[in-house]
Amino acid sequence: MPIGDRWQLLREGAPLGDIVVDGADFPWLDGRFVPRDGFAEVKPWFDESAAFVDAEDYEAFERAYDRIDGALTLASPSGPVAEFLLHIRGDRASWRWSDEPFDEA
């Protein structure tokens, strides 16, 4: 993905935030996150998942992240992606994505 591309975080089609790509370290992309109206409602979900990652409690992270995965959509410049893993901390986002569902391990 080219630097400067704009992605969107959506809930039921409504934009919750924009992410402008400013870095990449395959398979992860990094960018500046700009929240929109409605993001405050789901921000605690990202805060909780980040706390579990920091604590290296990956089972709890997966349970917490299921809420994000089930309710939100990530759209690339060409449209929604099939699967994604998104971390938002303050005004920074990092994510990986696929046009196909991730393999279940």
CA dist., res. 95 & res. 88, Å (int)? 9
According to DSSP, the residues that pair with 15 across neighbouring strands are 10
pTM: 0.91
Is the pLDDT confidence value at 12 over 80? yes
* 102 — pLDDT class (breaks 50, 70, 90): low
- Which pLDDT score, from 0 to 100, does residue 24 have? 92
Give me the mean pLDDT over the 33-57 stretch.
97
CA dist., res. 99 & res. 93, Å (int)? 19
**Higher-pLDDT residue of 2, 59:** 59
Please provide the average confidence, as pLDDT, over all residues in the chain.
Answer: 94
Q: Which residues contact 8 (CB under 8 A, 6 or more apart)?
A: 15, 16, 17, 18, 19, 74, 75
Place of tokens 């790509």: 21
- Which pLDDT score, from 0 to 100, does residue 103 have? 64
Is the pLDDT confidence value at 92 over 60? yes
At residue 47, the 3 state secondary structure works out as helix
Neighbours of 75 (CB within 10 A): 18
